Amino acid sequence: MKFIKYLEGIAGIGIFPMISLMIFFSFFVILLIWAIKVDKKHIAELEQLPLLPNKPIEKN
């Protein structure tokens, strides 16, 4: 519990949990937007990658 007392003494330390929450939330929002907008043929091709031997990914 002594460690918490050291953190309370640091000025402005309360902003770091909020910044990390914003980064975490932003990452998943961006990932969700990408998943909605990505070409469905590309997703279908990625689904088959583990099953096909050495097939390169076609870039659009």
DSSP 25-46: HHHHHHHHHHHHHS-HHHHHHH
Question: What are the structural domain ranges in the chain?
Answer: 2-48
What was the pLDDT predicted at 22? 95
**What average pLDDT does the segment 50-54 reach?**
75
What was the pLDDT predicted at 1? 57
Q: What is the pTM of this model?
A: 0.57
**What average pLDDT does the segment 36-48 reach?**
89
Cβ atoms within 10 Å, residue 40: 7
**Cα distance between residue 21 and residue 48, in whole Å:** 34
Contact 58, 45 (CB under 8 A): yes
What was the pLDDT predicted at 46? 84
